[in-house]
Structure 1
Amino acid sequence: MTSTVEVSPAARRSAELEDEITADPSRFRILTGDRPTGPLHLGHYFGTLHNRVRLQRRGVELGLVIADYQVLTDRDVADDLETHVLGLVADYLAAGIDPDEAMIFTHSAVTALNQLMLPFLSLVTVPELQRNPTVKEEIGHSRQAGVSGLMFTYPAHQAADILFCKANLVPVGADQLPHLEVTRLIARRFNDRHGPVFGEPEALLSSAPLLLGTDGTKMSKSRGNAITLGTTAEETARLIRGAKTDAHRHITYEPGTRPEVASLVLLAALCEDRDPGEVAAEVGSGGAAALKARVTEAVNGAFAPLRARRAELAADPGYLRSVLRAGNARATELAEATLAQVREVMGTRY
């Protein structure tokens, strides 16, 4: 008897979108981005950055929002915002994003984008905002006495990020589909109430590999358990030597039962473009020490060019600011054109 693996409608549509991108990449505009709360790490690279570079090189138009307004919900990092913003630009370019083709911009610089959030908020209810997974997670992990109104309105702000430039494709993990659904809902309700302005962006599902932090928990900038893109070779070796493994000497690739070991094996495999099972078999009875040596060599070898490029970029903040100015100008032009359409159909052009 043969078994079949059930494929979700979202996964099926995502596969179709990949074929459509291959056929005509010029049809698509992607919007994605990051909150500037610190430098990006290897989890970000293999989870999102690598895919963004891939899509851009295939000819898809790419927009990257650096969500600096959303950082205002994290009081402890907002004071060093400029450093984090310029660091993100350096990370993007070092990873291979072409600044002449990509639109890299910040929330705070695009007034018309943020103005779209006001009519969008009229299209969603308080319970719908409360049910958003990101809002629920932030409420659960908030280090403040209360959650700010800015964080509460995050889903509408995200909709403005995507819809202001008429993006029709958003790369997400399966767990992020509810986030995009709010954007689609807002676009649909706006069109029904005021007139056709917005398309409903679709999800391009990414199968991001799960890389754990050096302490065996989720890799995170805030937990201090990540290897950032700018980490030196020496610091990388130190961090990997201290990474959590388990008591079994023989190395195998079993993510379900040996997550810490499997994460290290996977990291080496990703850096070497190899199958993780093969990497584990080659390390075999060498144990954790041999595995960590293999991972260190793989990471430092794969990321040496990126690190060198990033160091050059970080040493020239004037150039990084010029990339942002150009991206902000392009984003402002698009946002103002969209806002003019919105005012027209809403009857608010006085």
Structure 2
Amino acid sequence: MIASLDTTPSDDLGVPAAQRRSAELERQIRERPGRFRALTGDRPTGRLHLGHYFGTLHNRVRLQNLGVDMMVLVADYQVLTDRDVADRLAERVEDLVLDYLAIGIDPRRATIFTHSAIPALNQLLLPFLSLVSVAELSRNPTVKDEITHSRQSAVSGLMFTYPVHQAADILFCKAGLVPVGQDQLPHLEVARTVARRFNKRYGAASEPVFPEPEALLSAAPLLLGTDGAKMSKSRGNAITLAATADETARLIRGAKTDAERHITYDPADRPEVSSLVLLAALCLGRDPHEVAEEIGGRGAAVLKSVVTDAVNGYFAPIRARRAELTRDRTHIRRVLRDGNERAAAVADATLGEVRAAMNGVYY
């Protein structure tokens, strides 16, 4: 069992409070990383892209390498939240695992698993739904946004309740840390609420069943897609991790900029140009202002050339590793099988605790 955190988490998960707490958590992680378990993951709806890498994937590898116990979820059931069918699911699950392994997630140190293979995790959804009200789910701002942009003609029950499903994802393994962006804080508050209410209703005061998970906010940069909108799998504006060097060059050449020739880093007034500058800076490990200053009056064509060289140089070893892994698909299945077995054992133990706490052990 992962030890509880040093301090009692605040109920206030507003952004300033979460930022302060994240700084303290980072200090604790550096001092004793083995005390922490983190839950993170993705829906297998398409190949991961550079926005995912610099936004979350890079941080997962960092935490793993520090010694945090990482649980990495392939959320295959949640593909259905905004789709009528889970199209090409087997292929996309394998692609997701390929991306994970290529960037450096190590299945010997991290547990990679799928929703559909962990029955006990999904069974937790039933008691957890009894702990939240319809009004609370209706008010969740992330759910409202997802519903607004849903591809479905009608909102499914899975879409409406998936914050509680995410609570089950987090709590089944008693994760104390959840690396998230600011927009995911409302979902994490649902998990904290579920944990708190379950402990109050069913747990012993001296030994609660669930820890209240905490947000680990990163200073994740926002990278725009080639059309100037947020980089997204569904918009067709992303540069994927699996893209070839030539594909990357073509996509960057077509990226939106502006009419001003002199290159500056000004995210507020020049978002498209600044996103390209930032991408180059992230790949080069440099300050974006310095990168922009070096390009100066040489214009967008030179900027795009610098970005292309930086991206292709940075991701060359990752892409080579991915190509090597692609040749042995049986390895991917072994990774999932082993991860599913480990996650299922954790989920079975937690479900046993839940049933015992609810006086549900009678056969």
Same fold? TM cut 0.5:
yes
Which whole-Å CA distance do the structure 2 matches of 1:170 and 1:74 have between them?
23
What is aligned with 2:137?
129
Partner SS for 1:221: coil
Runs of 4+ off more than 6 Å: none
Could you tell me whether the CA contact under 8 Å between 1:37 and 1:77 is conserved in 2? no
Q: Which residue of 2 aligns with 1:118?
A: 126
Identity %: 73
Residues 143-194 of structure 1 deviation map (CA, whole Å, 9 limit, x = unaligned): 2110111111101100000000010001111222111111000000001111
RMSD: 1.0
Report the counterpart of residue 295 of structure 2 in structure 1.
283
Q: Give the counterpart of 1:173 among 163, 169, 181.
A: 181
Match of 1:48 among 46, 52, 56: 56
Residues in 1 aligned to 2:83 and 2:34: alpha-carbon distance in whole angstroms: 40
Is the 2:81–2:162 Cα contact (8 Å) retained in structure 1? no
- Where structure 1 has 5 or more consecutive residues not aligned to the other structure, the ranges are 1-6
Q: Which residue of structure 1 lines up, in the alignment, with residue 165 of structure 2?
A: 157
What secondary structure is seen at the aligned counterpart in 1 of 2:81?
A: coil
Which amino acid letter does the alignment assign opposite residue 265 of structure 2?
Answer: Y
Aligned equivalent of 2:196: 188
Partner residue of 1:209?
221
1:316 matched to 2:324: no
1:276 is matched by which residue type in structure 2?
Answer: P
Q: 1:76 deviation in Å?
A: 6.5
Residue by residue, what CA displacement relative to the aligned partner does 1:248-288 show, whole Å, maximum 9, x if unpaired?
A: 00000000000000000000000000000000011111100
Do the aligned partners of 1:169 and 1:203 also contact (CA within 8 Å) in 2?
yes
Q: For 1:266, which of 278, 299, 321 is the aligned residue?
A: 278
Listed one character per residue, the Cα deviations across residues 216-261 of structure 1 (whole Å, up to 9, x for unaligned) are 0010000000000000000000000000000000000000000000
User: Which residue does 1:3 correspond to in 2?
Assistant: none
Q: Secondary structure at the match of 1:50?
A: helix
Give the residue type in structure 1 aligned to 2:26.
E
Question: 1:77, CA displacement in angstroms?
Answer: 6.4
Kindly provide the amino acid, as one letter, of the partner of residue 81 in structure 1. L
Distance in 2 of aligned mates of 1:264 and 1:318: 37
* Counterpart position of 1:254: 266
SS in 1 for 2:192: helix
CA drift of 1:315 comes to 2.3
Q: Which blocks of at least 5 consecutive residues in structure 2 are unaligned?
A: 1-14
Aligned residues: 344
2: distance between equivalents of 1:201 and 1:349?
Answer: 27
Task: Give the Å deviation of 1:306.
Answer: 0.2
Q: Give the match's secondary structure for 2:70.
A: strand
State the secondary structure of the residue aligned to 1:204. Answer: strand
Aligned to 2:77: 69
2:246 equivalent to 1:234: yes
